[in-house]
């Protein structure tokens, strides 16, 4: 999507900063900055917003061989409105957008060459029947080819109801290699009968998920596997903007997995990227390169000379 960021409540007017955002795009950019080969598959409109999206992803080193421009639908739009210092309202304009016209055909083309990992989110699944079919196809194809499937629940109440999300995501979760969810959205991926976090994690592992990754916001995160659990506190930084932190966290975890790190190493990289995300404005702009992963260990106020 194109993203507009307001400096104050929208009804007061003022300027809007234009950039790019989107759950899967954020993850693709983060992984590309860390040196991984990434491909983004999706649709944008034949408009200036679409050109901005493609230009940004291309500049960040993301493969766009299977990005599509739709001449008959506009690029999706998201608006971030700060309401207080700690509260941001997010407004989506994605109905009838190019992204809502994603289909199984687009997913098939993007996955035809194979992949080590496939990343999907509940955001795309929420955009309509076509995008949901594309997500389902991608999950099935990952299973057929042996690619690791990462599913981030990423529930957005402005896009669909919790009931619809659970109905769509529970079958997908059973196919996941890695299931990522905030502690308040894990129930949307786990069987309905599971009514505690422990029961939900157990049910997901029994269904075949290898790693259940539970994000706990400022408290850090915990990873559950058949061998037990591993927890990690969040990296302490000065917080500027929490939007996009979950995508950065997921990208860090996937990066560690692709690099063959053990679970604690994956989790360490995940919270590190989450820390970079909240310490900078924007969804992805402040994310590090591989050479910069150690920067957060510097003392506050450090100048690198």
What phi and psi, each to the nearest 5 degrees, are found at residue 298?
-70, 150
Integer Cα distance of 233 and 250 in angstroms = 15
Q: Go through the chain and tell me how many residues it has.
A: 305
CA distance 202 to 199: 5
Residue 194, Cβ density class (10 Å: 0-12 exposed, 13-18 middle, ≥19 buried): middle
SS3 68: strand
What is the three-class DSSP state of 110?
helix
The residue from 70, 152, 241, 247 that is catalytic is 247
Residue 241 known to be catalytic: no
Note whether 274 and 249 are within 8 A (CB). Answer: yes
**C-alpha span between 142 and 280 (Å, rounded):** 34
- The two structure tokens encoding residue 63: 């493969």
Q: Which helix (H) or strand (E) holds 231?
A: strand 228-232
Four-residue CA torsion sign, 222, 223, 225, 228:
negative
Q: What is the torsional sign of CA 123, 155, 93, 77?
A: negative
**Cα three-residue angle 221-138-52, rounded to 5 degrees:** 80
CA distance 18 to 48: 11
Which residue, 255, 271, 241, 253, is CA-closest to 21?
241
Catalytic site positions = 247
């Amino acid at each position: 999507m194109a993203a507009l960021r307001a400096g104050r409540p929208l009804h007061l007017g003022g300027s809007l900063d234009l950039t790019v955002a989107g759950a899967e795009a954020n993850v693709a950019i983060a992984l590309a900055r860390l040196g991984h080969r990434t491909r983004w598959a999706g649709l944008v409109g034949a408009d200036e917003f679409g050109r901005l999206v493609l230009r940004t992803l291309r500049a960040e080193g993301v493969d766009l061989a299977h990005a599509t421009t739709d001449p008959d639908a506009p690029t999706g739009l998201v608006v971030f409105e700060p309401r207080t210092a700690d509260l941001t309202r997010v407004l989506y304009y994605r109905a009838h957008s190019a992204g809502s016209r994603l289909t199984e055909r687009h997913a098939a083309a993007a996955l035809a060459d194979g992949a080590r990992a496939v990343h999907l989110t509940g955001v795309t699944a929420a955009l309509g029947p076509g995008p949901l079919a594309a997500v389902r196809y991608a999950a099935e194809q990952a299973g057929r080819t042996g690619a690791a499937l990462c599913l981030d629940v990423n529930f957005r109440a402005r896009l669909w109801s919790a009931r619809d999300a659970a109905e769509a995501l529970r079958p997908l979760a059973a196919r996941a290699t890695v299931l990522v969810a905030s502690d308040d959205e894990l129930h949307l991926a786990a069987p309905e009968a599971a009514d505690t976090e422990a029961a939900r994690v157990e049910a997901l592992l029994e269904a075949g998920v290898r790693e259940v990754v539970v994000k706990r916001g400022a408290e850090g995160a915990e990873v559950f596997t058949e061998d037990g659990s591993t927890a990690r506190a969040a990296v302490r930084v000065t917080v500027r903007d929490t939007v996009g932190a979950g995508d950065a966290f997921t990208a860090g975890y996937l990066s560690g997995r692709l690099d063959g790190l053990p679970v604690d190493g994956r989790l360490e990289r995940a919270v590190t990227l989450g820390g970079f995300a909240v310490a900078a404005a924007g969804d992805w702009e402040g994310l590090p390169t591989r050479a910069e992963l150690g920067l957060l260990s510097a003392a506050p106020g450090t100048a690198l000379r």
